[in-house]
Amino acid sequence: MSRRVLCKFFAHGACLKGEHCEYSHDWNDPPNLICTFYQKGVCAYGSRCRYDHVKVSRPQSSTASSSITEQRPLVSDDVVFGNTGITSNGIAAAPEFSPSRSPSFIPSIPAWNQEQQQYHEFVGDDDVSQSRITSPAEIPICSFAAAGNCPRGETCPHIHGDLCSTCGKHCLHPFRPEERAEHMKSCENKQKHLEALKRSQEIECSVCLERVLSKPTAAERKFGLLSECDHPFCISCIRNWRSSNPTLGMDVNSTLRACPICRKLSYFVIPSVIWYSTHEEKMEIVDSYKAKLKSIDCKHFDFGDGNCPFGTSCFYKHAYRDGRLEEVVLRHLGAADGDTVIAKDIRLSDFLASMHLQ
């Protein structure tokens, strides 16, 4: 059964179990999107939950007292929802709450009805002091519809959210613009990421000739992006090549640091779990990688005690113990004509180049 459900770790390129995983590693299988919290009773995310809020499909247990389980659903449907309807402005009218309901009934009500009931209690209270609801934005939308399908359809007493074109669910709150924008943005990003990940599945490393995202260990299932060209390699292959010993008279810069395919020189490799399709996507990956490294303290710099061979071009953070960042010291050079020149980076190659000219 579970073998036909897509493994969610695999979907993110990070399943450690490989072929021993009890879930499916086949993209054609549907993922399990049912919220387990909702099934157990209450999901704290409510309508904003990314998983489906659907009823449990387990068989009706016979343990609950028969008289209640047989009658209760009918009663609750009739009593609780009987007098409800949707008013002209789309807001659920509060049902007439029956105060005679004793608390002893509640445990016998299935979880999904329970939540409904609590909600109705909430709305019912508000109905007493009507002035507390000031705007329709405060009313939550139907969580069934938000999860994809509301069994009550047109007769549902709650507001059904607007359809999100990306995820195909009625989860956009009509009166909360920020939430709508946020959902649409995250939904689109999620979709984009999934598509990129799917596309990346097909990409082969040009060195080991295997699909990068089908490698046996999680650490290997990463691309190594070269800064200057767009040829795909897995991170282990490209790092292996760049760090191999230049024994056979290979030149470090012209051979080892060059792309194995186009021989273009790249100074660094960027690890990434997805492959990009546009230059913007690549820049995004590179920038987020650099930003991440910039937040990690450089072990060579060692809070000012050590000496980093990469100097000011190091990708890692150069900060002292008190949190002060290393200052780039500007060097003032007196030029021959009396002007002062600020030299930013002095490289040996600059001098070598000028020597050639002389």
Partner 1 sequence: MIDFARVQKELVECGKDAEGSGIKVTPKSDNLVLLLGTIPGPIGTPYEGGVFKIDITLPDGYPFEPPKMQFSTKVWHPNISSQSGAICLDILKDQWSPALTLKTALLSVQALLSAPQPDDPQDAVVAQQYLKDYQTFVNTARYWTESFAKPTSLGIEDKVQKLVEMGFPEAQVRNILEAVGGDENLALERLL
Q: Which stretch binds partner 1 (CB under 8 A): 40-48, 124-132, 251-259, 299-307?
A: 251-259
Report the amino acid identity of residue 1.
M
Q: Which stretch binds partner 1 (CB under 8 A): 28-36, 187-195, 206-214, 305-313?
A: 206-214
302: left (phi over 0), alpha (psi -120 to 50) or beta: left
Judged by beta carbon, residue 129 or residue 217, the one nearer partner 1 is 217
CA angle 132, 135, 140 (to 5 degrees): 90
Are the C-beta atoms of residues 22 and 28 closer than 8 Å to each other? no
Beta carbon of residue 28, minimum distance to partner 1 (angstroms, whole number): 25
In angstroms, the CA 353 to CA 18 distance is: 53
Contact between 207 and partner 1 (CB under 8 A)?
A: yes
In angstroms, the CA 17 to CA 70 distance is: 45
Beta carbon of residue 333, minimum distance to partner 1 (angstroms, whole number): 40
Contact between 163 and partner 1 (CB under 8 A)?
A: no
Judged by beta carbon, residue 246 or residue 306, the one nearer partner 1 is 246
In angstroms, the CA 180 to CA 164 distance is: 9
Contact between 212 and partner 1 (CB under 8 A)?
A: no
In angstroms, the CA 156 to CA 80 distance is: 12
Judged by beta carbon, residue 106 or residue 250, the one nearer partner 1 is 250
Beta carbon of residue 225, minimum distance to partner 1 (angstroms, whole number): 16
Contact between 263 and partner 1 (CB under 8 A)?
A: yes
Q: Which stretch binds partner 1 (CB under 8 A): 116-124, 248-256, 327-335, 340-348?
A: 248-256
Give 128-176 as a DSSP string. HTGGG---GGGSPPPHHHHHT--TTGGG-SSPPPBPPTTT-SS-B-TT-
Judged by beta carbon, residue 223 or residue 301, the one nearer partner 1 is 223
Contact between 203 and partner 1 (CB under 8 A)?
A: no
Contact between 32 and partner 1 (CB under 8 A)?
A: no
Contact between 255 and partner 1 (CB under 8 A)?
A: yes
Judged by beta carbon, residue 59 or residue 249, the one nearer partner 1 is 249
In angstroms, the CA 63 to CA 116 distance is: 23
Residues 6 or more apart whose Cβ sits within 8 Å of residue 313: 345
Nearest CA to 282 out of 224, 323, 330, 322 is that of 224
Judged by beta carbon, residue 244 or residue 288, the one nearer partner 1 is 244
Q: Which stretch binds partner 1 (CB under 8 A): 30-38, 91-99, 245-253, 338-346?
A: 245-253
Contact between 209 and partner 1 (CB under 8 A)?
A: yes
Judged by beta carbon, residue 209 or residue 329, the one nearer partner 1 is 209
Contact between 34 and partner 1 (CB under 8 A)?
A: no
In angstroms, the CA 326 to CA 304 distance is: 8
CA angle 121, 100, 152 (to 5 degrees): 50
In angstroms, the CA 27 to CA 288 distance is: 27
Judged by beta carbon, residue 190 or residue 263, the one nearer partner 1 is 263
Contact between 240 and partner 1 (CB under 8 A)?
A: yes
Query: Which residues contact partner 1 (rule: CB under 8 A)?
Result: 206-210, 231, 237, 240-241, 244, 248-251, 255, 258, 260-261, 263
